[in-house]
Amino acid sequence: MEQKVAKTLEADVVIAGSGPGGATVARELSKAGKKVIVCELGKYQKSIGKSINVPQMVANKGLTFSKEGLLVVIPETVGGASMLYCGTVFKPPAWLKDKYGIDIGEEVDELYQEIPIKPLPERLVGDGQRLLMETARGMGLDWNLLDKWIRHDNCDNCAQCSAGCKPGAKFTAREYVDEAMGNGAVLLTRSGVDKVITENGNAVGVRATGPDGQIEIRAGKVVLSAGGRGTPIILQRSGLYDAGKGFFVDPVTSVAGVHPKLNTMKSIPMAAGTHLDEDGIVMTDASAPLLFHLGLLGYSAPRGIANMPKAATKFGKTLSIMVKVRDDLGGRVNADGSFSKPLTDEVKGALNKGIVMAEEILMSTGVQRKDIYSYRILGAHPGGTVRIGNLLDTNCETSIKNCYCMDTSIIPEPWGVPPTLTIFAMGKRLAKHLLAR
């Protein structure tokens, strides 16, 4: 039985979720004069660039596990996971255009100009990162500085990117949300969308739960941007029960080692790295705030706990390499938010290959094998839960007319690289489509 509606609102477009996808659509449509309401489950916490920001800005204080015990980070804050991301930019794969006819070249170019996106300058690249790059190149790897969504002049090199960003150097989706509000959009925080309201097969709004009870928002267009886990939950509650069937998490680990000489503090994470497309492996330098690092070692018990004293006392000499691999489309997200994500033997094989390569690189820099340890595998970013070509057409519209999706759930195939640029660009493309209609 539905609860009593405490409040009814009206808009041209209602958006569920304010991560990169939702924020972009909100910004573009509000700029064009549309009345936009954004419902966001999380709060608008201050971004202070300290480890405490992490449990504040994620669901269940960061303790979200698959049925198999895999830790997957699920954001819950205005701006979504971009508040905690490393600002590393990978361009969309060529197959998006070649196979699906989706050309977001123009939108990607726009985004490259805006901040702008470029590799870090010399002064922001740490000694450890340079050593890893030179060593990896010496071993024949194509290891280069990566494009970053960081305003160099504002960056104080605190290297806490994955715990927010106090100086605001890192570009986040929250900037687009703020801009949208400046254009007149309404942001409802602590307000989770439960389901899409339909009439004769058309979306006519959403039902949400806010701090003061149920809200009904009537709108001509509904955009679901609640993330790779959140969007399929809303769709299942709205009658599309195949949403969430099959998804990727792009499993990730970090291989760390204590270097005998180097000072590795002040290392903006993911400054440089390599993409081995055929193997589906991305490797980059990595660094996390100390408490975040120790928390992940706790998750990696029992071996991780044994390594905690070394990790804590030698933190300033720790060189780390992130190994992330392309996942397959297995598992399922359920309507109650629980999910299952078994890792296949192929995925585990790719992870093992990446881990062995990372160990070789670390040892070639002078780290001893006895001083190397790694985290247990975790899920980097859930996506592909409502795929284009499966439950969405190429404009990201569902079988419920006027109900669209825009976040990592739309990605049509196993992915394997940081997805944010693609989602921002796809958000711009969807806004153009909605305005044209």
Q: Is 434 in the site for ligand FAD (CB under 6 A)?
A: no
- 78 closest CA partner among 111, 49, 56: 56
Residue 48 corresponds to which tokens in the numbers above?
Answer: 């202070």
Q: Which of 227, 260, 262, 221 is nearest to 244 (CA)?
A: 227
Q: Is 272 helix (H, G, I), strand (E, B) or coil?
A: strand
User: With contact defined as beta carbons under 8 Å apart, do 102 and 396 qualify?
Assistant: no
CA 357, CA 331: separation in Å to the nearest integer? 28
Binding to ligand FAD (CB under 6 A) within 291-320 occurs at none
Contact with ligand FAD (CB under 6 A): which of 13, 14, 20, 177?
A: 20
Shorter beta-carbon distance to ligand FAD: residue 193 or 215: 193
* Residues facing residue 72 across a β-bridge: 379
Span of 19-27, 137-145, 324-332, 388-396 interacting with ligand FAD by CB under 6 A: 19-27
d(CA 367, CA 255): 12
Min separation Cβ 416 and ligand FAD, Å = 12
CB of 260 to ligand FAD, least distance (A): 29
Instruction: Give the footprint of ligand FAD on residues 384-413 (CB under 6 A).
Output: 407-408
The minimum distance between CB 186 and ligand FAD, in angstroms, equals 14
**From the CB of 2, what's the least distance to ligand FAD, in Å?**
16
| Cβ contact 78:189 at 8 Å | yes
d(CA 351, CA 358) in angstroms, rounded, equals 10
How far apart, in whole angstroms, are the C-alpha atoms of residue 371 and residue 77? Answer: 37
Q: Which two three-digit tokens encode residue 98?
A: 């070649």
Residue 4 neighbours by CB under 8 Å, 6+ apart: 213, 214
Question: With binding defined as CB under 6 A, does residue 230 bind ligand FAD?
Answer: yes
Interaction mask 67-96, ligand FAD, x per CB under 6 A? ------x-xxx--xxx-xxxxx--------
Binds ligand FAD (CB under 6 A): choice among 225, 287, 320, 385: 225
Contact 4, 67 (CB under 8 A): no
**Sheet strands side by side (includes 330-333):** 245-247, 330-333, 339-340
User: 16 or 347, CB closer to ligand FAD?
Assistant: 16
For ligand FAD, which is the closer residue by CB, 159 or 193? 193
Choose, by CB under 6 A, the member of 226, 272, 343, 426 that binds ligand FAD.
226
- DSSP-based three-state secondary structure for 266: coil
Q: What is the DSSP letter of 49?
A: S
**DSSP E strands, 287-411:** 318-325, 330-333, 339-340, 372-374, 378-379, 403-405
Closer CB to ligand FAD, residue 288 or residue 347? 288
Which one among 26, 36, 40, 262 touches ligand FAD, defined by CB under 6 A?
40
Q: Please report whether residue 232 would count as binding ligand FAD according to CB under 6 A.
A: no
Cα(113)–Cα(94) distance, integer angstroms: 21
Q: Minimum CB separation from ligand FAD for residue 231, in Å?
A: 8
Verify binding: residue 146, ligand FAD, rule CB under 6 A.
no
Q: Cα separation of 385 and 331, whole Å?
A: 10
Cα–Cα dist 75/21, whole Å? 13
User: Closer to ligand FAD at the Cβ: 230 or 304?
Assistant: 230
Cβ-based nearer residue to ligand FAD, 209 or 364:
209
Q: By CB under 6 A, is residue 358 in contact with ligand FAD?
A: no
Closest approach of ligand FAD to the CB of residue 158, in Å: 16
Q: Please identify, using beta-carbon distances, which residue of 90 and 365 lies nearer to ligand FAD.
A: 90
Stretch that binds ligand FAD, among 39-47, 62-70, 120-128, 251-259 (CB under 6 A): 39-47
The contact mask relative to ligand FAD for 259-298 (x = CB under 6 A, - = no) is -----------x----------------------------
Q: Does 205 participate in binding ligand FAD (rule CB under 6 A)?
A: no
Interface with ligand FAD includes 322 (CB under 6 A)?
no
Provide the CA 298 distance to its chain's centre, in angstroms.
Answer: 23
Type of residue at 361: I
Interface with ligand FAD (CB under 6 A), residue from 11, 108, 423, 430: 423
Q: How far is the CB of 422 from ligand FAD (least distance, A)?
A: 8
- With CB under 6 A, what is the number of residues at the site for ligand FAD? 39
The number of C-alpha atoms within 13 Å of 251 and in the hemisphere containing its C-beta is 24
**How far, in Å, CA of 223 to CA of 28, rounded?**
13
- Binding interface with ligand FAD (CB under 6 A): 16-21, 39-42, 73, 75-77, 80-82, 84-88, 162, 192-193, 225-228, 230, 234, 270, 381, 407-408, 418-420, 423
